[in-house]
Amino acid sequence: MTYIVGIDPGEKGAVAIIPAYSFRETIAMPMEHNTMSDVYLYLSEMRGERSESSCSVYQRAKPTTPIKKDLTYIKSRLPAIPKKDNSDTSMEVYLEQPGQIMVNRLRDGKDNTAGLLAGMSASRKLGRSVGQWEGICTALHILPTLVAPKKWQGKLGCPTRGDKNISKNLAIKVFPFLTDGTGKSTITHGTADALLIALYGYLQTANPNYIPRSVKDNINL
């Protein structure tokens, strides 16, 4: 069994997981409500690798945030772990590579000193976040695939140029089952990119005969 993981490393990004065997069990975890250690424990549990030592790693790295070692802690903060079949579990992680923030600011006319400083600060934060996610992947024995925004957006036909509404609208169409109890979509600007990055990864190996109609109807494959 394979899980496809898409990671938007932005400050208000998210982690999305598509079980290759059941597209409708896709989940999205906004990082504004969770921590990297939460996600690490969650992914470890999915792989069946959670242990006392894996918890203690994060206790040493962030001693001010105690990590509870029972699964109820994870379940209280994150979505239910998708059901497993009897096969071995593997994960393919697609991690968004930071864009050229300073170049984009120059292109958009934000070439004043304040704009450049803001771009430098954002670039540092993104770079640090990507490094942390790569560290988590290393701890899980996973080699992530770095994918540039232009690459996944080009594959899915949704060049956003920074407009989050474009990716959000597409994600809502492709994942219409991600709703709350009233039928309203739970996809936000924060989770949309992660879902589409995971979708990009899913399409790399998906059997064309089993690609969901919601994908075929909204993406030119």
B/e letters for 175-202, b = 16+ CB within 10 Å, e = fewer, are beebeeeeeebebbebbbbbbbbbbbbb
Question: What residues contact residue 219 under an 8 Å CB cut-off, 6+ apart?
Answer: 156, 157, 170, 174, 203
* 84 found inside a domain: yes
* 30 found inside a domain: yes
C-alpha torsion sign, points 56, 142, 158, 184: negative
Res 64: pLDDT? 39
* 18 found inside a domain: yes
Cβ-contact 37, 67 below 8 angstroms: yes
- Beta-ladder partners of 94: 6, 145
Mean per-residue pLDDT pooled into runs of 10, the chain (221 residues): 92 92 91 86 78 38 41 56 65 85 49 56 77 92 93 94 92 96 93 96 91 95 81
The range of the structural domain enclosing residue 19 comes to: 2-98+144-216
* 131 found inside a domain: no
* 92 found inside a domain: yes
* 189 found inside a domain: yes
Res 82: pLDDT? 66
* 188 found inside a domain: yes
Q: How far apart are CA 123 and CA 142, in angstroms?
A: 25
Question: What residues contact residue 77 under an 8 Å CB cut-off, 6+ apart?
Answer: 33, 34, 38
Res 61: pLDDT? 37
- Say how many domains are in the chain: 1
B/e letters for 5-19, b = 16+ CB within 10 Å, e = fewer, are bbbbbbeebbbbbbb
Place of tokens 């994060």: 58
Q: How far apart are CA 30 and CA 8, in angstroms?
A: 9
Alpha helices for 48-156 (secondary structure H): 52-61, 71-77, 101-107, 113-139, 149-156
> What pTM did the predictor assign?
0.80
Res 214: pLDDT? 96
* 93 found inside a domain: yes
Measured at the alpha carbon of residue 119, what is the angle toward residues 188 and 152, in degrees to the nearest 5?
45
Pick left, alpha or beta for residue 125 (phi over 0 → left; psi -120 to 50 → alpha; otherwise beta).
alpha
DSSP symbol at 179: B
Measured at the alpha carbon of residue 51, what is the angle toward residues 57 and 41, in degrees to the nearest 5?
65
